[in-house]
Amino acid sequence: MSTLRFKAIEKVESRPVIDVKLPSGRISDYYGTHVFDVATMREFLSSEAFRKVMAAIHTGEKIDRQVADQIASSMKAWAIDKGATHFTHWFQPLTGSTAEKHDSFFVPTEDGRGIEKFNGEALVQQEPDASSFPSGGLRATFEARGYTAWDPSSPAFIMEIGNGRTLCIPTIFVSYNGEALDYKAPLLKSMQVLEEAAVTVCRYFDRNVEHVSPTLGWEQEYFLVDEALFHARPDLVLTGRTVLGHAPAKGQQLEDHYFGSIHERVYRFMMELECEAYKLGIPLRTRHNEVAPGQYECAPTFEEVNLAVDHNQLLMDLMDRIARRHNMRVLLHEKPFARINGSGKHNNWSLQTDRGKNLLSPGKTPKTNLQFLTFFVTTIRAVAEHGDLLRASIASAGNDHRLGANEAPPAIISVFIGSHLQGVLDEVEKRVSKGSFDEMDKGELKMDIHNRIPDLLLDNTDRNRTSPFAFTGNKFEIRAVGSASNCASPMIVMNTIVARQLRDFHERVEALIEGGDKKDMAILKVLEQYIRESRKVLFEGDNYSAEWAEEAARRGLSNIKSTPGALDAYVRKESIALFEEMGVYSAKEMHARHEIQLENYAKRIQIEARVIGDLALNHILPAAISYQNRLASNVKSLRDSGLEEKLWQAQAELLLDISTRIQEIKKLIDEMVEERKKANKMKDAREKAIAYCEAIKPYFDRIRYHVDKLEQVVDDELWPLPKYRELLFMK
Ligand code: ADP
Ligand code: MG
């Protein structure tokens, strides 16, 4: 009997139920208790320090040394009071996860004792050794220094692991020369340019607006598997997905998992996750079963983008940690199981003013509805122009299994707005483009827009679940983001392209006003141009259909199915010019990111290729050969005993099938290894990534095909790996 698999199954069956002690009472009693949030700051800081921090948060004002010292000392007092012994600068390097290096508050003193210290300098800047983080050539080896710098706009928090408590300070991570080595630095820059551009445009409608920030509400999908089974699957351990495995007789076809009642083990995990998230001020709102068996989702109330990104990173970290406490593993990979839905992360994005107005929410007056339409159309125009950048921002080896691989959504970036808003845009285009459009028509059109828009709320139900980029009533929902990725990547692109488009909008409107048009007239004229120029990106139909792929090609929309191809958009001349102009990335930073991602892609495919080779040769073939031996001796003894052929024919056929597949698998693996040797000699990151994508990856499915066929015929007791039916249905 195959020991590993059956031992794992026994372990799952014999495990006692875990009982977690959760705080009783209302969530609001413990929500945010581990965060140095505004309320805490008000309590712990002097009024002058408090005012300075608020100014830093809201207007990016610099905090001077003296104030930083005061803040640090209050932060320390608070953290120590909460039981923290260490602090860390918490950052988001380009590995995709978070990084931390803990230092103790404690310093020894001459008298043989010690004290707890933490000053402004330690709060504001640290110098972790950057040499082991991806830098894409930004950090010459002789200059390994990198700096982390405090981001006051995201509050410090206390991370509790076992009995240990650490004060975590959200920071950006830059090289010695100031180039970004993380996601947060460019994200903050993109928010700033977006704010400037959006405020300028807002003032056409409301002179009092001073700040605009993008908001993000993410929805996180994930799988849970039992930890014992997880460990019996080297592919899950090493790559986060199953590279082999036959689909179970029952998958998701009965659609009985979605919104189904939550398994008790999973429920306990979710409750503990939520509790920890609440303490950290992550405003989780929903939890439910997803479409695939073993798949779940959670989502918070939306927040300002920077904070929402930090919270998502923090949550992914928490999920992993807490799942282990429950003898489970969380799989954040975009496609842990073939032929079963993968996981994504929907990024709901909008813009909000300091006066509390959601700019993508329909207004109450003709004026606010014109404002709504302005931001709505400008965003669509930005996506029509820069869809390739958005595609690049969500490209990863894992996400390739979703985008362009017959699973939602396709690699074609299009925008769904619903028939109602489509009608509004048609109307604007039709009326404004008429040569005779005058002041009177303008007044009428404004009223007409106003009258039509409130119905939008009813149209809300008209959801198109197949669209990668859908307007859902008061926000755009970017659905093609990978479940494992850092939300910042697409958010940086969104903020930047919309900022660029708003600038362009303002320039065009100003030019028309200078030419004698009244303001609203100018605005409507530019909107009409934008609507016309954005037509190609609007699509209301089934995004999974073959017809759409053809139609999209006719419209000139890209359909880039693989990561190396998608990433090219980052280093196109126009893209670099755009990011430089907006001050979000320098050319050097973009080239560096491009290279890091290509390298990351090649490495991931390389690891998968190795795992497939190892599993096939060390696990699958030995099992298949044992069974082959049994069949062979069985056929031989039946034949020797003089039985007619028809009585051992079935076994002989099985034997032939198994033997052929064994030969085939071995041959394909040898060929794949040869291709890998060739690719590994390549120096150029792009060339290498393409080789991994085009010459090596296609072997995966070919090898898998035979392995999965073997799984169906080899004696179940010999099969070495937990099967899908065991992994997907929680005990
Ligand atoms: P669903 O899409 O599942 O029907 P909702 O529309 O209520 O649910 O919200 C889904 C997600 O959209 C949530 O994460 C929520 O925080 C987010 N969201 C709602 N409004 C906004 C907004 N103005 N800006 C950004 N995200 C938002
Ligand atoms: Mg949604």
pLDDT digits (tens, 9 = 90+) for 504-543: 999 999 999 999 999 999 999 999 999 999 999 999 999 9
| Pair 354, 480 in one domain | yes
What pLDDT shows up at residue 2? Answer: 57
Pairwise CA distance, residues 670 & 494, whole Å: 44
Please tell me whether residues 558 and 685 are part of one structural domain: no
Among 221, 284, 345, 348, say which to mutate for ligand 1: greatest number of ligand atoms within 8 Å of CB: 348
In a domain, 622, yes or no: yes
Ligand in nearest proximity to the CA of 219: 1
User: Residue 182 — left, alpha, or beta (φ > 0 → left; ψ -120 to 50 → alpha)?
Assistant: beta
Please say which residue of 585, 617, 651 terminates a domain: 585
Q: Specify if 590 maps to a domain.
A: no
The model's confidence at residue 406, banded by pLDDT at 50, 70 and 90, is low
Residues of the chain with pLDDT > 70: what percent? Answer: 97
Write out pLDDT tens, residues 318-356.
999 999 999 999 999 999 999 999 999 999 999 999 989
Same domain (yes/no): 445, 330: yes
Mean pLDDT of the chain: 93
Q: Which atom of ligand 1 is nearest to the CA of 358?
A: 23
pLDDT exceeds 90 at position 595: yes
| Whether residue 462 has pLDDT greater than 60 | no
Question: How confident is residue 249, by pLDDT bands cut at 50, 70 and 90?
Answer: confident
Inside any domain, residue 89 = yes
Same domain? 384 vs 460: yes
pLDDT digits (tens, 9 = 90+) for 191-234: 999 999 999 999 999 999 999 999 999 999 999 999 999 999 99
Do 116 and 173 reside in the same domain of the chain? yes
Q: Please say whether the beta carbons of 244 and 236 come within 8 A.
A: no
Q: Are residues 157 and 265 in the same domain?
A: no
CA dihedral 124, 585, 136, 478 (to 10 degrees): 100
For 70-74, 405-409, 559-563, which range has the lowest pLDDT when averaged over its residues? 405-409
Tell me if 6 is assigned to some domain: no
Last residue of a domain, one of 182, 215, 242: 182
Q: What is the CATH number of the domain that holds 92?
A: 3.10.20.70
Which of 307, 360, 475 has most ligand 1 atoms within 8 Å of its beta carbon, as the pocket-test mutant? 475
Please count the structural domains in the chain: 3
Note whether 552 and 650 are same-domain residues.
no
Residue 197 belongs to domain with CATH number: 3.30.590.10
Determine the pLDDT at residue 367: 86
Query: Does 94 lie in the same domain as 199?
Result: no
Of the three residues 147, 162, 182, the one that is the final residue of a domain is 182
Q: Are residues 609 and 554 in the same domain?
A: no
User: What residues make up the domain containing 35?
Assistant: 31-182
Cα 20–chain centre separation: 29
For residues 549 and 288, give the distance between their C-alpha atoms in angstroms, rounded to a whole number: 32
Residues 542 and 631 grouped into a single domain: no
Q: Is the pLDDT of residue 587 over 90?
A: yes
Residue 124 has pLDDT above 80, yes or no: yes
pLDDT tops 60 at residue 1 = no
Query: What is the rounded average pLDDT of the residues 442-454?
Result: 87
Residue 1 lies in a domain: no
Residue 19 pLDDT greater than 60, yes or no = yes
Give the span between the Cα atoms of 53 and 731, in whole angstroms: 50
The CATH number of residue 695's host domain is 1.20.120.1560
pLDDT at 141 over 60: no
pLDDT at 437: 86
Ligand 1 centroid – CA 217 distance (Å): 5
Note the pLDDT of residue 144.
67
Q: Worst-scoring range by mean pLDDT, 4-18, 268-282, 457-471, 614-628?
A: 457-471
Q: Which amino acids bring their CB within 6 angstroms of ligand 1?
A: 215-217, 219, 299-302, 348-350, 358, 472, 474-475
Please report which confidence band the pLDDT of residue 460 belongs to, taking 50, 70 and 90 as the band edges. low
The residue nearest atom 14 of ligand 1, judged by CA position, is 217
Question: Can you give the pTM of this predicted structure?
Answer: 0.96
Closest residue by Cα to residue 450 from 476, 477, 470, 428: 428
627 domain-assigned: yes
634 and 708 in a common domain: yes
Q: Any idea which ligand is nearest the CA of 467?
A: 2
Strand blocks (E) in 406-473: 469-471
User: Are 567 and 605 members of one domain?
Assistant: no
Let me know if residue 9 belongs to a domain: no
If you measure from the C-alpha of residue 312 to the centroid of ligand 2, how many angstroms do you get, rounded to a whole number? 16
- Is residue 591 situated within a structural domain? no
- Cα distance between residue 305 and residue 184, in whole Å: 10
The reported pLDDT for the residue numbered 627 is 97
| pLDDT value of position 699 | 98
Per-residue pLDDT at 727: 95
